[in-house]
Structure 1
Amino acid sequence: CLEHEIPSQVQRVNTRKKKMSKGKAKWQRDLEDIDRRVEEAKRKADRLRRSKHKANRVRRDYVFDPRLREISRKYQGLLEKSESASRLVCPKCEEGDRGNRMNKSPWCMKCNTALIPKDELEKCKNLPEIKFARNALKKELHRLNPGLDPDNKEEAT
């Protein structure tokens, strides 16, 4: 009876050792994974530092080279002109374009109005503001054209 139990005990011990070694291997793999990620982060940081030094060197060259400064000045002037000409603002609150769109046109969500170019803002401010309540508009249309009923539908004659 004892001879039969020993192989099964040995087998259990071996399976327990395998499980422990698997766990240890997983733990070691996790540590190696962490180490690998740390090394990647360090390499990335070094690469960024090196690129920053290159950018500083380019800026230094730009400061001392008059041709580059002239080209840059002209380019910046062109950008400012195009930006100021196409700059859109809200006619009510004079807030700039925030990228909101309604029916593919720039829109101010705060005032619920379409945005207009900045140079047309003065023209827009000089126009009178007309507000009609919906029912008042229907009554006015009916008064001007008695052929229309108050619901703006033509009467059958």
Structure 2
Amino acid sequence: MGFEGIPAKPRAGIALPPAKVNARDYAEAGQWFRAAAERDYPPAQDNLAWMYYTGTGVTLDYSEAAKWVQRAAAHGYARAQVDLGYLYEQGKGVPLDYVSAYTWYKLAAAGGDSRGSERMKNLSRVMTQKQISEASNRATQFPASRFPREGISNSNGVTSSFAER
């Protein structure tokens, strides 16, 4: 899956520099991300989740953030897998669950996202070996990534992962 059939506006929203963006722009970006997210485009789903998580352009809503990031993570989108792990680690929009958090971090790491490895290492310090084993077993049940990394992340923080905050 690539950019085929996805309007240019949500793709362009990924690269907007913060100084050029106002509240109306974020609200419009949210509409475009939602349109692409509803068409099952994982980067848009993850970006929309970030908007709900931070309350940027939309009303802050952790449950809505979790809904969209879960959809992107289920596609094997590594950035969203880290973000979903973070929600479970923090108990925001989903129940606090270290086993689920570790599982999603492990999947993200397997998908090539180094943040997954970092967060997994940090989280393992507060988990039992039994919990880590359970999480690792869950991760092996997940199918291999079905969505290639496309290198569309933003270096200026507009749509940065909320797991980095």
TM-score normalised by L of structure 1: 0.21
TM-score normalised by L of structure 2: 0.20
The structure in which a higher percent of residues are strand is 1
